[in-house]
Chains A and B, each alone.
Chain A
Amino acid sequence: MEVAFILEKLILVVIIFTVTLVIAMYSTLAERKVAGFMQDRYGPDRAGIFGLLQPLCDGGKFFFKEEIIPAGAHKPLFILGPVIAIITACISSAVIPWGQELVINGKAVSLQVADVNIGVLYIFGVIALGVYGIMLGGWASNNKFSLMGAIRAASQSISYEIGMGLSLIALLMVTGTLSVGEIVAQQSGFVNWNIWVQPLGFLVFITCAFAECNRVPFDLPECETELVGGYHTEYSSMKLGLYMFSEYINMFVSSALMASLYFGGYNFPFMYDLGLSQNWITVIGVLVFFLKIFGFIFFFMWIRWTLPRFRYDQLMNLGWKILIPLAIANIVLTGVVTLVKDTYF
């Protein structure tokens, strides 16, 4: 029993890991295709049909590039930087429920690696840890542009974590649980999605998610017009690749998080009215979940090729003077509505 359980989880972890990496890989292609579409040109289309082999070529190129560690760099931390970045990006998906239970030979198999009852806090903690990769890499490069990038990353991450945490508190007041699995299970059907009760919270959350992923318009840590390459100026070869990759994985995981916290996760409209068996509901649910995730990833890219980058003071003003008060107002509003609803209805 115990061995079977471990084996089951191990297979699930390997599948999720593979899917995450493949999606992150093809996000790089999608990003360039979307950019091409927005700018009225073809994206990469030479390698394979529709350029489908492009990510493989890029990966190969990353591996064969010369690996340079600057003479003045702090070597252990210089190597540790991208390692932390990629590890924290990969472990955050552990608590996301990818679907309902599959029934195989009469045995229910959960499609969630770990349904811990502090799942939301776990993700929050891992996100908070992610900034170490950027900070250490930027500092260890011994380059003033890298250092500037690292410092920006740290202050930006701390500022927007507060807004993100506060927007999550309002969500937790509605759901009454910290387990991501339960939060998704509560949103069955279409009208129960949390986005209908927490639109303001979602707005704050998605803005903070953009900032935490260092995506345009919040990519000040790697702002190339001011800082050459930002925190990864000195990085080459696969170490640079790992930083890039962790950015795309973060994007994927935060899309999954937004889909499951606010947009019902694997739930889809009329899921119990179609007369489908449990396994079919699960399979369609997983597909719907990934459709939602791809929607959010497209939204990330859409924003990137639409909005220009913020100036640094604008970034701080937005974080501290707009998002945090908004999130606190949202908490108060949620509290009042909950109280009124409980007392009078």
Chain B
Amino acid sequence: MTAFYFVAFLSIFFALMTIFTKNPVHSVLYLVITFFTFTVHYIMLNAQFLAVVNFIVYMGAIMVLFLFVLMLLNLNKDTEPMKSNLVKIMGAVAGMCLLATFLGAFRVIELDNGFVTGNSDVGLVKNLGKVLFDEFLLPFELSSILLLTAMVGAILLAKKETKEA
């Protein structure tokens, strides 16, 4: 339990650093460390596959792309331009809505259903694969179609832009 609190503290600390640091590149790096602490959480929960996929996809690919885009933008100024008050208020309201939704969702969640307290080895690759391709086949396939759609959409948008230019 002590280990959990320590890692949780690190997660929250680096998440806050991500928000409060001025330099965008530092921000991305703190986010990378935050994701790393998530990986540690997954390992502590015995969810090996999720841990390593989080490691590869988020730390290894998505964050590299973030960094890549930041470097292309070449943000020389350390401070980002101040946003107008309207944007700030909207941001605060949206954040509070999200918080309220999460609180509501977590209040009604049942902690004693089979998947939370049941088999703690469900996170190992073999068991996870069996569950995904058997019990949850339909949601799994649907989400892959969703991803494919998003990918095709992104390519389509990029193509349109080059044609007009």
Which A residues contact B (CB, under 8 angstroms)?
77, 116-118, 121-122, 124-125, 127-129, 131-132, 135-136, 139, 147, 150-151, 154-155, 157-158, 161, 178
Contacts and interface: CB of A to CB of B under 8 A. Distances in A.
Contacts of A158: 61, 64-65, 68
Nearest to B52: A121
Given A117-B125, A158-B65, A125 B72 contact: no
A149 B90 CA distance: 40
16 contacts: A77-B25, A118-B52, A125-B52, A125-B56, A125-B60, A128-B59, A128-B60, A131-B60, A132-B64, A135-B71, A139-B25, A150-B71, A154-B68, A158-B61, A158-B65, A178-B125
Nearest to B25: A139
A125 B51 CA distance: 10
B29 to A, nearest CB: 8
A155 B59 contact: no
B52 A129 contact: no
Contact of A121 (B25, B56, B65, B68): B56
Contacts of B45: none
Given A147-B71, A178-B125, A118 B59 contact: no
Interface residues of B, number: 21
Given A121-B56, A154-B64, 15 more contacts: A118-B48, A118-B49, A121-B52, A124-B56, A124-B60, A125-B56, A127-B60, A128-B56, A128-B59, A129-B59, A136-B29, A139-B25, A151-B71, A158-B64, A161-B61
A161 B60 CA distance: 10
Contacts of B56: 121, 124-125, 128
B64 A131 contact: yes
A143 to B, nearest CB: 12
A151 B61 contact: no
A11 B94 CA distance: 55
Given A128-B59, A161-B61, A118 B125 contact: yes
A73 B72 CA distance: 18
B160 to A, nearest CB: 19
B128 to A, nearest CB: 11
Given A121-B53, A125-B56, A151 B72 contact: yes
Interface string B25-62: 10001001000000000000000110011011001110
A315 to B, nearest CB: 16
A113 to B, nearest CB: 17
Nearest to A128: B60
A157 B59 CA distance: 13
A139 B72 CA distance: 10
A136 B71 CA distance: 10
Contacts of B32: 132
Query: Residue among A116, A129, A131, A136 with the most chain B CB within 10 A?
Result: A129
A147 B67 CA distance: 12
A235 to B, nearest CB: 18
B25 to A, nearest CB: 7
